[in-house]
Amino acid sequence: MNEYHIVTTWQDDHNMIMPRHPDKDTKSRISYFLDWMAFTGRNWLTPDLAVYRDFLLNERVRIDLLTGSEIEARLSPSTVQAHLATIRGRYQELLRDNYVRQKLYNVAPPQLGIGDKKAFVDEILVRLQNATHPSTATVEVVTVQDVADSEYLRLKPDEVRALLRAPGINTLHGLRDTAMMALMVCTGIREAELVALDVPDIKQKLNGEVSIHIREGKGNKARLVPYGALDWCVLYVEEWLSSAKIYRGSVFRGFYKGNKHVRPTRISTRAVNNIMNRYPIMIDGDLRDVKPHDLRRTYARNAYENGMDLERIRQNLGHSSLQTTQTYIGELDVQQRRPPRMFNPPHKLTQLRGASES
């Protein structure tokens, strides 16, 4: 193994490591890893997860190899742990794949005999097994029970009202932004689900209830979310569609220069974030930007506080587990966490006063 070096291209590495039909998170994490390997001169046969871990934890920016632009790269320990778990999982699949073994036989130096080729391939696979073992490149993750209010926003009803009033509805631009934010806070949908909406998706039926249709949510899961008493948000969307003369295709679109004429193509998730950054609101005396995912948390928290069952909230949000839904609801107010009087003191409390002094 020390005498021979197998040269691969970026495309070779991509074809080998990237699964055939990856989900969104897997594709993103492995693409990130492939870019790093290409940038540092490594290939799929020489992963160094400890170095990669340190890069993810400590580097503030990376260079996008396609555009040359700088991209924020420093990640939290829990996110780094998820990245490494995805990469390890993919390597475990490769190590069990006979196609990989055969490919390694094919690229082994031709001067090796059959027995030496087998030893060559076995050595590579063992080294890959060791290099991607969970004991390598461990990440220390601090578990946080209570998250400060400043970390995530969950808007109160009056704050929701302030946010939705900020764009105004007297311009086409403002009407679109109001409709967009109203729909997110009234249904809890993700920004990626928002931009993927087509006109027929806005009004579908679920057991007779008017609902929004998410054709492809996270994990390729489709779902319907009933509006219930929040169906007023549909009026804003319909007014936007009518004013913008949109009768088919994508619901939310950008504007040509001048903000008067609507483009035929749908907006991006980045555009959704940029739009919302234009409408900061006062929260506890501070001017705060509200992010799209804050509206998803706002939906979950307010639905729960108004008596909606946790399982129903989970279904509407499209979560796989109740535990995830609980993180969106967040920690309850301190008053709600006060324990009841489960025990009584064994003495009269007046007897305690001064007892230690006597």
Q: Which residues are catalytic?
A: 190, 218, 293, 296, 319, 328
CA distances for 109 relative to 203, 270, 282, angstroms: 62, 48, 67
The closest of 13, 9, 16 to 99, measured between CA atoms, is: 16
* Residue-by-residue DSSP string for 35-67: HHHHHHT--TTS--HHHHHHHHHH-SEEE-TTT
In three-state secondary structure terms, 263 is strand
Tokens of 304: 């729960």
Cα–Cα distance measured from residue 286 to residue 22, given in angstroms and rounded to the nearest whole number = 41
- Give the count of alpha carbons within 13 A of 227, CB side only: 21
Q: Which residue, 278, 159, 252, 259, is CA-closest to 197?
A: 252
**Helix or strand (DSSP H, E) at 103:** helix 98-107
Taking the chain, what is the end-to-end CA distance rounded to the nearest angstrom? 82
Q: Dihedral through CA 26, CA 15, CA 125, CA 37, nearest 10?
A: -70
Helix, strand, coil % over all residues of the chain, rounded to 5? 50, 10, 40
